[in-house]
Chain A
Amino acid sequence: MVELNPLRIICPNGHLGFAPTKEESFWLGAETKPDYYCCDSGSNDIGPGPLGADTCASPYDWQKHDLELMLIASRKQGAPMIIGSAGDTGTRSRVDLYVKIISELARQHGLSKFKLAYFYSDVDKKYLRSKLKAGHVIEGLDGRSNLTEEEIEKTDRIVAMAGIHPYIKALDMAADVIIGGRSSDSVIFAAPAIRAGFPEALAYYLGKVLECASFCAEPYAAKESVIGTITDEDVKVTAIAPFQRCTVASVAGHAMYERADPFYEYVAGGMLDMTSCVYEQFDEKTTRITGPKFVPVSGKIKVKLEGAAKVGERFIGIAGVRDPYTIANIEKVIEWARAQVEERIGAKGYQLFYKVYGKNGVMGDLEPIREIRSHELCIIVEGIAPSKEMAEEVTMIGTRQIFYARLPEVKGTAGTAAFVVDEVLPASPAYKWSINHVVSVDDPMELFDLHLIEIG
């Protein structure tokens, strides 16, 4: 085991490829020769569509750009590079895509031989069914009920959230570059630190603070590099961009970002407890953190699962309304349009949604303002059905009938809606998050399929 003390990790981007890495701060950071180049590429913020349809949310060119920067810098220096949750979702096809990009880049740049490890996080439905049959409970998270066979059946694609385990194993195999399937963000950074012998609590905290790159710095600016330094006693996080600093407020504030509470972070293997973290300004651009705790799981390791299920094909219609009388009666107009869909297609077998911008299009039921004074409204109609033809028809009737709404006192009898286009637009199929659960495993590697190849 290599003893590096302290150990320094650079993180160039909070979500690799989602928007391109800023190069100036990356190269400034690379010049300081960090021990590892680590970056997370995943998110479930993007909704269930990419996982369900097995596509990326990020453009190919941006992903390639970010991978190229990291690969060139890390290979030139001879430091390992680690990517987690390849291609936004971390499915098999996204891992394969990143492995292919790395191989092509290595050839293009004439890089000398290196070892590439990659692992898949995809979960076979058969595996989950057999778990249920054997009487295991697959626990629901965030108030969900436990997983049923029916819910597994409906789901199109499932990934498991890796902990440090496949990363440590890949490093043990002397991998120079690791492309990970779906993983917890923090473990990409925690794994090399834990493997080097640093306390788990500090290592997971290091991961937690680095995973969103410059989101832990101020002023607010994404896609800039930050460097985390771990010792036996503390973690220090330093902003690299010349205009950014890591302050006590920015680092503590980041502990809250995108999470239900600022104190606890769950990973496969335990829980990071940040309740007694102490934050101090170390130098102008650096904040020092001490005091995180790590509570290992008692009993079997629990691995989080994400699954997306297709709901149907989808079309979108757009209608504008300017007549004040129609605006005042917009609910009646929508009722009318819904009734026309029902008259032609029936009440079941499809879903039809109206989002009324200028009223509560953004917040829906959460909107506290009930009395509106808008002089115009935009209505987005979303129709979902098993086939494209049916989704188009549902959406078409549901949109066009806003134009034909029968209101007793309307003055405009030549049409009660304004159209940008007199058609409805095909949208990506509708998916939903069908699985947000945890499964207990005997071996933390049982859901992750690790491979090693030589490149160059």
Chain B
Amino acid sequence: MKVKKLVELAKTIRSKNAGPDKITFDIIFNDKTSYELVKHSQVITKQSIAKLYKIPQEKISDFVEFDPAFAIKFTIYRNFPSGSPGETDIFGCQQYPPLLDVEVPLK
């Protein structure tokens, strides 16, 4: 089966703090076709995210397929609040790269 990587299909893939205790991830597509393809492929789900980031599913606070923006969005709890001792990413903005290589089967 032919596959494409998420980085080739999405317009935007980003992560960012959502308040001090969470990091939120947005995968935004240019058009309905790519969005629907990824949405229906079920490669981005609570289960797959938990597996990719090696976190229990309870750490995912929100998972939304947001049709008006052609976007898939999920949010995870941080291990500690942003900027705490030991912080490596105060803004939470470099936590998305593992998503870039997620493979999406083409129909």
Contact = CB atoms under 8 A, between A and B. Distances in A.
Interface in B75-107: 75, 77, 79-91, 94-95, 98
A253 B71 contact: yes
A436 interface: yes
A47 B69 contact: no
B23 to A, nearest CB: 9
Contact of B73 (A143, A262, A363): A262
Interface residues on B, range: 35 or more
B69 to A, nearest CB: 4
Nearest to A264: B62
A365 B56 CA distance: 12
A28 interface: no
Contact of A256 (B19, B66, B84, B85): B66
A355 B88 contact: yes
Interface string A383-410: 0100000000000000000000000000
B54 A368 contact: yes
Given A368-B98, A432-B83, A432-B84, A47 B90 contact: yes
Interface in B44-65: 52-55, 61-62, 64
B69 A363 contact: no
A142 B19 contact: yes
B33 interface: no
A306 B94 CA distance: 25
Contacts of B90: 45-47
B66 A262 contact: yes
Interface residues on A, range: 35 or more
A34 B58 CA distance: 46
Contacts of A258: 16-18, 24
A221 interface: no
B20 A433 contact: yes
B85 A363 contact: no
3 interchain residue pairs of minimum CB distance: A47-B83, A252-B69, A142-B21
Given A256-B26, A364-B88, A433-B83, 10 more contacts: A48-B83, A249-B30, A257-B16, A258-B18, A260-B19, A277-B68, A351-B85, A362-B89, A363-B95, A368-B52
Interface of A: 44-49, 141-144, 248-249, 252-253, 255-263, 277-279, 306, 311-312, 314, 351, 353, 355, 361-369, 382, 384, 430-433, 436
21 contacts: A47-B83, A48-B20, A48-B83, A249-B70, A252-B66, A252-B69, A253-B26, A255-B66, A258-B18, A260-B75, A262-B69, A279-B68, A363-B88, A366-B55, A368-B53, A368-B54, A382-B85, A382-B86, A433-B21, A433-B81, A433-B83
